[in-house]
Chain A
């Protein structure tokens, strides 16, 4: 079975600072990978997905970017954080049955 490692668990960053969140996957190869953001009391908003190394699709124009430098590594970045970037960020990997395995998430607070 797959395991998603995501860190850090909690992050407090000032407005205008850079961001780098990393996600690594174990137990599978060439997975489809996803970054979601979950605002309090709201559903999961798909930010980016990747079907392979260097292949990134963006779902929502915003202050964030994603990269996939290795098969099982997915990185979410920002050059300058905004207050509106606060939220719970989740990395996910698609399994063979269309279900996802999620990481434990990063709670980002921009102050």
Chain B
């Protein structure tokens, strides 16, 4: 079993839709949870960062962590064609040196 599972998609939605991206994980030691956005032929960029369980909102983006279920989500409201990218979840335990990444979900937002 992989430490982090993420559906690779692709996920295609119309402009303005609410997008839900998800990851599950198996290591209960993970404490820090990140979402990265990667445009084609570019390096990933850190989008959201949360510690432990709860929600965090930044503009149209909301990151949600449920440690009891080992499940994290990223919600995108009012999706735009510019949101079309691959979204990677990532996580690390306290004091760890190595972040574990999901495989990434490819998102297409159609105008």
Interface residue ranges, A against B (CB under 8 Å): 4, 6, 32, 41-44, 46, 49, 51, 57, 59, 90, 92, 94-95, 97-105, 107
Given A90-B43, A102-B43, A105-B42, A43:B102 Cβ within 8 A: yes
Q: List 26 A-B contacts (CB under 8 A).
A: A4-B43, A32-B97, A42-B103, A43-B88, A43-B104, A46-B98, A49-B97, A49-B98, A94-B97, A97-B49, A99-B34, A99-B46, A99-B49, A100-B36, A100-B99, A101-B46, A102-B36, A102-B43, A102-B44, A102-B45, A103-B43, A104-B42, A104-B43, A105-B41, A105-B43, A107-B41
Residues of B within 8 A of A94 (CB): 97
Smallest Cβ-Cβ distance to B93: which chain A residue: A98
- Given A49-B98, A98-B99, 9 additional A-B pairs, CB 8 A: A43-B6, A43-B102, A94-B97, A95-B46, A98-B34, A100-B99, A102-B45, A103-B43, A104-B43
